[in-house]
A and B are shown apart, each in its own frame.
Chain A
Amino acid sequence: MLKGLRRRSQASAQASRTTITRRALMLGGAQVAMVAALGLRMRHMQLERADEFRMLADGNSIKIRLIPPARGLIYDRNGLLVAGNEQNYRVTMTREDAEDVPGELAALRQLIPMTDAEAGELLTEIARRPPNAPITIADRLSWEEFCSVSINTPALPGVTPEVGLSRHYPHGPDFAHVLGYVGPVSDYDLSKLENPDPLLRIPRFQLGKSGIEAKLEDELRGTAGQRRVEVNSAGREMRELSRREGDPGVALQLTLDARLQNFALQRLAGESAAAVVMDVTNGDIMAIASAPSFDPNLFVRGISGADYGALMENDHRPLADKTVQGVYPPGSTFKLVTLLAALEAGVVSPEETVYCPGYMTVGGRRFGCWKHSGHGRVNAVYSLEQSCDTYYYEVSQRVGIEAIAAMAKRLGIGVKHDLPMSAVAEGNAPTKDWKLKRHGKDWLIGDTINASIGQGYVLASPLQLAVMVSRVASGRAVVPRLVRARNGVEVPAPEAPKLDIDPAHLAVARRGMWAVVNGSHGTAGGSKVVLQDWLMAGKTGTSQVRSAVVNNKAVPWEQRDHALFVCFAPVADPKYAVALIVEHGGGGSSAAAPIARDILLFALAGGLPPLAAYPAAQRETVKSRFEGLDLIDPAHFAAPTRGRA
């Protein structure tokens, strides 16, 4: 009958059944005990403590509030505060705790100034947000306004006067482009994040919008603290039950020098211009100034339509960061690249001369040198000193565009440098493939000739030009950097590897740059430095904005040529490099070189340069120029407080 079952001796089967039954009963007992424990726990929670839990669920009388952390402070290389936090008095309202939102808002308007439009927007926002989210009614109140609201809070349920922190940029416009600014979190910001930090849900929480503030947001923000508070039925805090502070954001120390930055911007005042100062030994960016600038504090407070409109309409484009975002044809400053490419390829020797009759005809087309009468026989050094175009027309045909593009990338042009700034441009070191892909056309020899003197398709940002000069000056592949230390811990700056370029060829380029400033026929001979220890070398550039060359004075501002100047000093032992562009400034030697020299000398002197550095004939002009500048006095700033605030 039980075919499928194993046969077993009656006794054994009986014994095992007894065992199983006994064990099953033991297990049953244990189960009963656990069920009893579960039942008792249920009774304990649902019957004995029901009132307590009911209260928590109903009134949620205990609320958990986030404590926003202090945003990380930012210092310049000497410990001057360039981005800090200041106390901000504000008033918030929570809809679920308020009895009559429009009525209370009307009452508040008696105490703090508010336009009808603002009040309307607030009402919409309050209705749109979750009922338990506090909405900022007004911030940056004066102490008197704040007090008057505080006194009246008993009549205004759901309204809370608060003291918070708000970002402040003590140097105003000086660091607007590099630091960027913070602003209130927008729905768009939130929509971009997969899993937003709960802090960002705090209305008007300040979030980096551009520049370092945006790029290093994660470090600067810090982590939230929290406190548990008991509230009464009106939502007013009765007492704080527990509190855990958050961690403030990382304190950053930048490589920038606030005084140099300020001087550069002052010196560029009135122009649409950009200047980058780099330490050629380690890549530290000492100053990165884009003029004109704007006051980032306006954006933190919420810029008015009129102010914003004025910034947008200004033809000098104050909002654009011309240092890293703007790209320009580098003009004759690019001749350094063409020369080094040709020397490295061996298609021309340093001493070999090219005859310049003032033009060159290639493929039936005539390419003129800037000096129509011609330079005669020109060698490498003299070609830079005189900025002879014909020389470069000739050598660029010998070496070809591919080698020129490769050299440009080695020197940092056409490469996106990794800096925590907004919209860092890549520039362009054009190649044949690039033109085919981008324009669908074959590369022409005329394109090479244009590229050889930094026109045509070649584009570089002032930052890239500064990197180029730093590399030529130091012979090392220095990489630009902006962050010097985090929370007082220095960011290591390993020595850059040597450039894979024959040092003899780099020396030729440097001698050429020396001659540009100090030679008898140098194009920047008017911007000499006479102190032997600080001798300067440089290269002028004038990049065409329109095709026909006419007198710059005769055309409207926006059609004039861009003036460029790149330089480094001291010649004997290079320390700093400057790249400077004055948009539509005219010639590089007249519009750019004198400003670049002042900035470079300021960097070397660590303050206003001594007049002794200038040729005797220029000292009076320089002196009066300096006196006209509105420079910051470091004494205005409290003793630098390092680390956490």
Chain B
Amino acid sequence: MSYLENNLKTIPSGPTKILFLNWPLIFLLTAVAGTGFLMLYSVAGGNVETWAEPQMKRFGVGLVAMIAVGLTPIWFWRNVSGVIYTIALLLLLAVEFVGDIGMGAQRWLDLGPLRLQPSEIMKIGLVMLLAAYYDWLPAEKVSSPIWVALPVALILMPTFLVLTQPDLGTAVMLTLGGGFVMFAAGVSLWYFGTIIALVVGLVAAVLESRGTSWQLLHDYQFKRIDTFLDPSADPLGAGYNIMQAQIALGSGGWSGRGYMQGTQSHLNFLPEKHTDFIFTTLAEEFGFIGAFGLLSLYVGIIAFATYTALSTKDRYASLVSLGVAGTFFFFFAINMGMVMGLMPVVGVPLPMVSYGGTAMMILLAAFGLVQSAHVHRPR
């Protein structure tokens, strides 16, 4: 990344800042979103208005938001991190009481023209707050128990709220994203070892709780676990999604069945084909080449964001960039793993491709933080 700034010793200012944005990152994000438009057009049966057009508009808004965030100095974002986290937490609480019910879960806040999903804001708010926290905390205290307990509490509060909505996917994303930042900040590996051991114990407890009075998960969540372990046990019920998704994916072969030619997608064998399962349509219609191509685009995005993180000397900028990249990584890794049968089905969309307004705009704004870190990096 040394095309203009080779000999630059100062931080750019004014309109010239635009030249110093991480343009390859913008290009990659646009390419991924473009893939999304193509797929949304296809699953809508060749109709732009159903999903592709609203998605394009939101992408436009999100792109502008990303650049605006990117041109704002990174220290401004560090200073407001706590505020954003607090607002997101309050919104989550609000959803708990006045939220709309959609698809059986309480996730939405209706603010007139804007339908807001506070859990999406929280994914970024949490990363920002943790990055600011470790920026403030002297490096030698990072692993002392008290200073570890505090960020853990900051992660668990929103996770708990999201879990009661109930939204297992987002809860997992929050925990992983927060843990990712803590790991990057240098918290002792022993803690992570312990946590992993605890998680294994908890999973055992959850499975044990099934059918008792203290059952820890909803029945449908248990059902998803069963289905993951053996999708063919219930091919007409809960396992149906996974079986059909895998048939779609596998039948794509090397080069796919051709754009808009996927039988699984177009004969309505696929569930939620415009949201969580959109990757199967891509894999069916564009085959291994298309699926691997999208994976490569994602890897490129992660690589550029990580490059920004490593090239800045500012600790907040580094951590926030890594955190955004990590969250993004978990998005696509969990989604792809889920539709390919490597993981249980949790509601995690394919980032920048699945239909969904809040998620895409928030992600773009989050990449604005990476851009800001990139533009304003002390050299």
A residues neighboring B (CB under 8 Å): 1-2, 4-6, 12-13, 15-17, 19-21, 23-24, 26-28, 31, 34-35, 37-39, 41-43, 45-47, 49-50, 52-54, 56-58, 64, 66, 198, 226, 228
Contact = CB atoms under 8 A, between A and B. Distances in A.
A208 to B, nearest CB: 24
Contacts of A5: 75, 314, 378
18 contacts: A1-B10, A2-B378, A4-B78, A5-B75, A16-B315, A17-B318, A20-B186, A20-B315, A35-B299, A41-B337, A42-B288, A42-B292, A46-B288, A46-B291, A50-B251, A54-B250, A54-B253, A228-B235
B315 A24 contact: no
Interface of B: 10-11, 73, 75-76, 78-79, 135-136, 138-140, 180, 183-186, 235-236, 246-254, 263-264, 283, 287-288, 291-292, 295, 299, 302, 306, 309-310, 313-315, 318-319, 322, 326, 329, 333, 336-337, 340-342, 378
Contact of B288 (A1, A37, A47): A47
A17 B134 CA distance: 12
Contact of A28 (B288, B306, B319): B306
B187 to A, nearest CB: 9
A5 B140 CA distance: 19
Contact of A46 (B79, B264, B283, B314): B283
A38 B247 contact: no
Given A47-B254, A47-B288, A54-B253, A17 B246 contact: no
B340 A41 contact: yes
B264 A57 contact: yes
B235 A64 contact: yes
A255 to B, nearest CB: 36
A38 B336 contact: yes
Nearest to A23: B184
Contacts of A47: 253-254, 288
A26 B309 CA distance: 14
A23 B318 CA distance: 11
B340 A43 contact: no
Given A31-B302, A46-B254, A46-B283, 9 more contacts: A4-B79, A17-B313, A23-B184, A23-B186, A38-B336, A47-B288, A54-B253, A56-B247, A66-B236
Interface residue SS majority, chain B: helix
A198 B314 CA distance: 60
Contacts of A41: 337, 340-342
Given A12-B139, A17-B313, A20-B318, A64 B236 contact: yes
Contact of A45 (B75, B183, B184, B340): B340
Nearest to A65: B236
Contact of A38 (B78, B246, B318, B337): B337
A12 B136 CA distance: 12
A53 B250 contact: yes
A35 B291 CA distance: 12
Contacts of B302: 31
B333 A34 contact: yes
Contacts of A12: 138-140
A5 B132 CA distance: 11
B249 A20 contact: no
A27 B322 contact: yes
Contacts of A19: 139, 185-186
Nearest to B321: A24
Contacts of A198: 236
A228 B247 CA distance: 16
Contacts of B253: 46-47, 50, 54
A46 B318 contact: no
A53 B246 contact: yes
B337 to A, nearest CB: 7
Contacts of B186: 16, 19-20, 23
A498 to B, nearest CB: 40
B75 to A, nearest CB: 3
B345 to A, nearest CB: 15
A240 to B, nearest CB: 14
The 7 closest A-B pairs by CB, nearest first: A53-B250, A4-B75, A57-B251, A19-B186, A50-B253, A46-B288, A16-B139
A56 B247 CA distance: 7
Contacts of B295: 35, 38-39, 42
Contacts of A28: 306
A338 B75 CA distance: 90
B183 A27 contact: yes
Given A4-B75, A5-B314, A20 B288 contact: no
B326 A27 contact: yes
B262 to A, nearest CB: 9
A64 B236 CA distance: 8
Nearest to A2: B378
Contact of B249 (A53, A66, A226): A53
Contact of A23 (B73, B185, B292): B185
Contacts of B247: 53, 56-57
A228 B234 CA distance: 11
Contacts of B283: 42, 46
Contacts of A56: 247, 250-251
Given A12-B138, A198-B236, A45 B246 contact: yes
Contacts of B288: 42-43, 46-47
Given A45-B249, A50-B254, A57 B75 contact: no
A564 to B, nearest CB: 54
A245 to B, nearest CB: 14
Nearest to A56: B247
Contacts of B319: 20
Nearest to A198: B236
A39 B310 CA distance: 26
Given A42-B295, A47-B254, A17 B315 contact: yes
Given A24-B322, A27-B322, A39 B251 contact: no
B267 to A, nearest CB: 9
B194 to A, nearest CB: 17
A226 B337 CA distance: 29
Given A38-B336, A41-B340, A42-B292, A13 B250 contact: no
Given A16-B139, A17-B315, A54 B183 contact: no
A594 to B, nearest CB: 60
